[in-house]
A and B are shown apart, each in its own frame.
Chain A
Amino acid sequence: MPSFVKLLGRNQDLNKEAAIIEIFQEIWNKENGELLATLSSARELGKETKEMVVDYLKEKTAAQKINLKENIDEDLLGGFVLRYGSQILDGSLKTGLLNLKTRLEK
């Protein structure tokens, strides 16, 4: 590990640290059949709902283990926003209202 940091320093790539860690995480998760996902919702969704989300992700990505991070965002009003890999599944009421607003303004 120290030699990898030295290599980054030699190549002047230390500022790319965050991206490198992210990509490493992705590769690690892929290799080990893991998936990191973030679930944002307006309020606590409960165990049953979270399990549904995990099952959904397993079905969609074929990952064996799902590391689900939860985030409460009251601005979402309802529904959820699910981020995994490079995907975003936005089922929030806030986004629904914004879409409705865009359509009304046309």
Chain B
Amino acid sequence: MESLISVFHIDLKLFIAQLLNFAIVFSVLYFFAFKPLVKMMTERTEKIDKSLKDAEEIEARLSLTEKERHEVISAAKKEASLILTEANKLGEEKKADLIVKAREEIGLIINNERAKLTAEKAATLKELKKEVADLVILSMEKLLNEKMTIAKDQDLVKKLLK
């Protein structure tokens, strides 16, 4: 030991003082630099972990929301399609009803017009018959007034009484 000290010219007192010095510097560095640094690093790591976890959660939520959005849109599309189909059906029914009503109204108008025409025709025919009858009667009255004699009248009465 002594040879080693002598070979390397180690001053024991100085060595002990340096050891003490090192211990003091190490202690100071440990408590005031390394420990807070480790603490800070741990906190940072935890924060980053938390952030990553939050991000994953957000991403999961986002994915869920996206899925829900798709489902809502799909349901809305389905409902819209259903409403459209229903509306088309109603429209077709309404259209068919309107066509039926229009046909009925047209039929009614045609029948009314036919009845009117028939009535007009009958009235005209009646008037015509009346005029013809008046004319015939007038002519016959005139003829009888001209041609009827007492002898003919007496013959007529005799015939009627027989």
Contact = CB atoms under 8 A, between A and B. Distances in A.
Interface string A71-106: 000000111100000000001010001101100111
A105 B126 contact: yes
Interface stretch (B73-81, B109-117, B136-144): B136-144
Contact residues of B: prevailing secondary structure: helix
Interface residues of A, number: 24
Contacts of B148: 42, 77-78, 93
Interface in B125-162: 126, 129-130, 132-134, 136-137, 140-141, 144-145, 148, 150, 152-154, 156-158, 160-161
Which 10 A-B residue pairings sit nearest by Cβ, starting from the closest? A104-B133, A91-B160, A101-B133, A77-B144, A78-B148, A49-B154, A78-B153, A105-B133, A56-B161, A101-B137
Nearest to A44: B150
Interface in B7-24: none
Interface residues of B, number: 22
Interface of A: 41-46, 48-49, 52-53, 56, 77-80, 91, 93, 97-98, 100-101, 104-106
Contacts of B153: 41-43, 45, 78-79
A64 B153 CA distance: 27
Interface of B: 126, 129-130, 132-134, 136-137, 140-141, 144-145, 148, 150, 152-154, 156-158, 160-161
A30 B126 CA distance: 49
Contacts of B154: 45-46, 48-49
A97 B137 contact: yes
A37 to B, nearest CB: 13
A49 B157 contact: yes
